[in-house]
Amino acid sequence: MGSSTISKIEKAILYAREPDRFEFQDFTVKLRGMHSTHTVVYRGGKLTCDCEHFIGHGDCSHTIACEKRLGEMLPGGIPLLVN
């Protein structure tokens, strides 16, 4: 491994330690639930899910799990339970 690659890895480690460098905008996650796999989408600062519970209630175990897993990485912390 060359010195250039080593310096890039060191810089990446520094970046990874500073969550405020990251700004999630849009992403899609496949989350394996107990009975099936669901698609969770983060767009416009909100999480949505294709499961029936989310469609009826505006939140679900899948979106809450994503919030807990991503924590401070999402803008504004955790208050994404709003539809």
Residues 10-41 have pLDDT tens digits of: 999 999 998 888 888 899 999 999 999 999 99
Measured CA to CA, the distance from residue 40 to residue 74 in angstroms comes to: 14
Rounded Cα distance between 27 and 29, Å, is 7
Tell me, what's the pLDDT at 82?
45
In a domain, 7, yes or no: no
Cβ-proximal residues to 18 (8 Å cutoff; 6+ apart), any chain:
none
Torsions phi, psi for 32 (to 5 deg): -80, 110
Asked if pLDDT for residue 65 goes beyond 80, the answer is: yes
d(CA 61, CA 51): 10
pLDDT (0 to 100) of residue 81? 47
Domain housing 59? 23-83
| Residue 11 falls inside a structural domain | no
Per the structure, the count of domains in the chain is: 1
